[in-house]
Each structure stands twice: as C-alpha cells, then as structure tokens.
Chains A and B, each alone.
Chain A
C-alpha cells in the first residue's frame, strides 16, 4: 500500500475516482436513470430537500433584489417601448375616431339625396379653410365634377354654407354666408322676407328685414327664400339668439348666428345647378334642424317651414 501523502497515492485516487465516475455514467445510461440510480437520486433529493427549502427561503429575497437591479435597465427599455406603443395606439385611436366622424358625416351627406331629389349632389371635402382675413373655403371638387359657378353649398344636415364663387377643373372656392359681402335672401318664421349678410366672423351674421310685421324671437330659424333660382327655399341659414323688435317696419339685428358650425366643417355637398330648376326656386321639405354644439354640422330639432 502506498504511504499517505505520497504523490503517487493522489494519482491512484484520481484513477479510482475517474473509474468510478465512468462506471456511474455508464450505469446511469444503461439503466436509463431508473432502478438503483433512481433510488439513490430520490434519496439524495429527499435528504437535501429540507435544506434546500430553508436555503431557498433565505435566498429568495436576495434573488428578488438582484432581479430588480438586473432588470432595471430592461424595465426602463420596456417602459420606453410601452410608452411609444401607447403613443402609437393613441394616434391610431384618434385616427379611428376621426374616421368614425367622417363616416357619420358622409352618411349624412348621402342622406341628403332624399332631401334634394331635384338636384345633382356632389360631396366634397374641404381642403383648406379660410383664415381671419379670408373666410372662403376650398373644396376638392371642380368643374370636372360638375360644379358650376353659383352652386349652393350645404352641410350634412342640408343647412346653407354658402355659394361657389370660383371654379377650376379640380377645385372650387366657396364663399360662406359668414364672409363679408355675402348676402342671402331669407324669411323669418313669421313669413317676413329679409336678408342675412356676413360680418366676416364665424359666429355672427346680420339680419335685416324691411317690411317686418312682427318681431323675431330668440331661437327662431331663418331660412332661404327666393335668394336666386339655384337656391332652394327653406334651407336653414341662421338662428336668432335674442329677440329683435320691429322698429318703423324694420328689423336690424346682429344677434344672429349661422346655423352651420363653420369651425368643425369637414365635408360639404354642392347642389348641382342644372338648368332643370325652372324659373322658380325649389322648396325644400323642411324637417329642419337647430345647431348643436356637439355636432359638426347641426343636429335635428324639427321646426315648421315658413
């Protein structure tokens, strides 16, 4: 026997342990991890299990703390990624909401066909709105689409927006009723004819009635009346916001707001002025509307036609 501490003794031990290891591996492979090996393994795990459980209880908080530190950077990245994703989703949601609004408007515009059976309707989008100095609107339809000078332009509810004043092949310019110099023939609910004239501002127009027989009351609607041969009678034009009394057969008030909310206008419909109107303006069936702040172009509130 080799003496303890001899260099050769270590080598011999190494050889023995290597041999045992090889035998264990061979035995484990041949028994496919079952039988005696499985028993030994289960036994070892049973013995160690309580210690591992205790150790795990001590170590878990350490692991959690380490994880928190290690994941800090990745959490920041994740946070940034989620923020960007949120922005994208919000943008998409806004687009979807805009599409819904657009859809509603287009449906309403399509419904106008029933309201104006004698007109060729052309739906158009506003591609540029006016500014403080020029309130005219440019629409994406022109002479190629049958738009002609003087055509009447209405919103989705059929309320008067204005008149086409310039036409090119692809575009047309609309002078809205709020623009300075635009005058529209209207009638009051009492049946007195008068004029609405634009004041160059989006929330105010002027009403003049020269042969007034009765005052105009608040919330009364002013509608088109014999403006010209292309303009049907009975289109909503404006609403009186405060009572105006007759003064020597005349009513002159600025307490009148346009029926259409020009700040939220996106689509319009042009009423084709085909010469099939005859000499007299057409009367529009008037289930008409009053403006609603939440609506882009007015919502329904039935009133009598003049």
Chain B
C-alpha cells in the first residue's frame, strides 16, 4: 500500500515535470521532449504489483490528458498498455541498469507508436503531422537516456517501502 502511495507521488511528480520542464517553451531538443510519465510508468512497474502498475500508468495518462487539454483517455489508454507491457517485461530489469534502460527504450518506442496510432484513430492526426517521425525516433532515445537517471531514483524511492521487490 505504501509502495502504491509512493508510486502515485512519483507519477504526480512526473506529470509536474512533464508539464513544466518539458512543455512547449521548456527543454525540447530538436523540438521533442522526453516522456517522463512514460519512463516513470515503465520503471515503477518493476516494483509494483500488476494492478498498481496499471493504475499508475492510467493515472499518469489521465492527468497528462487533463493538463495538456488533449483527448481525455488518449494517454491514459496508451500508458495503461505500456504499463501492462512493462509488467510483462519486469524481469528484464533485474539484469541491470543497461537492461532496464533497454526495456524503457523498447517500451517507449511501442508507447509512442501506440500513442500515434490511437491518436490518429481518434482524430488527433498524430501520425500525419510533419514531426511524427521525429517524435517516434527521438522520444524513445530521450527516454532511454532518462532511464539511467530514473531507475536509481525510483528504486531509492520505492525500495524502502517495498522490500519484497527490491533488488
């Protein structure tokens, strides 16, 4: 229960960082920002049980949808699916920091593609935008780099509260 609370705080912080530091006008190398909420969703899944991991993804997605004024449920659906994939790939995190970062890379790629596909299906025209390919290429890369920082931080935040899943 305490791990869930901690992960909720983490996802809230992730949303806060995403909507401030990496918002338009913030840090966006090549006009693309990393998806912090996605990284937190993926990495926290390692320490959480299935339901909690899915709920963290869903909550983060709903919050981003609400704050970014995008289609409500769009990111929620995407991040829920990403969280589910992260839960399935949970064991890969145990192989080390690099392995965890690679999981983040692959799942981020899947997440960005999903985001594009779902957005396009629901009229957001995401895949037809000129920057679509750039986003699909860069976001996973940024997330991969960010994962090296996020994994220790999230581990430190959750380990003390969820000894059973700590390394």
Contacts and interface: CB of A to CB of B under 8 A. Distances in A.
B128 interface: no
A23 B21 CA distance: 30
B27 interface: yes
Contacts of B71: 25, 28-29
Contacts, number: 101
Contacts of A83: none
B127 interface: no
A185 B92 CA distance: 109
A67 B74 CA distance: 30
A51 interface: yes
B73 to A, nearest CB: 3
Given A13-B51, A45-B67, A52 B16 contact: yes
A48 B13 CA distance: 11
Q: Which of B26, B69, B81 has the most CB of A within 10 A?
A: B26
Interface in B65-79: 65-67, 69, 71-74, 76-77
A51 B16 contact: yes
A79 interface: no
Contacts of A5: 49-50
A17 B21 contact: no
A27 B72 contact: yes
Interface stretch (A55-63, A112-120, A143-151, A229-237): A55-63
A10 B20 contact: no
Q: How large is the interface on B (under 10, 10 to 19, 20 to 34, 35 or more residues)?
A: 35 or more
A18 B66 contact: no
Contacts of B84: 10, 14
Interface stretch (A36-44, A176-184, A199-207, A261-269): A36-44
B27 A63 contact: yes
Contacts of A62: 21, 27
B139 interface: no
A13 B67 CA distance: 24
Interface in A1-52: 4-5, 7, 9-10, 13-14, 17-18, 20-25, 27-29, 33, 37, 40-41, 44-45, 48, 51-52
Given A18-B81, A51-B16, A63-B21, 10 more contacts: A9-B51, A13-B51, A14-B54, A21-B58, A29-B122, A45-B66, A48-B63, A48-B67, A55-B17, A59-B26
Interface of A: 4-5, 7, 9-10, 13-14, 17-18, 20-25, 27-29, 33, 37, 40-41, 44-45, 48, 51-52, 55-56, 59, 62-63, 66-67, 70
Interface of B: 15-17, 19-21, 25-27, 29, 49-51, 54-55, 58, 61-63, 65-67, 69, 71-74, 76-77, 80-81, 84, 87, 122-123
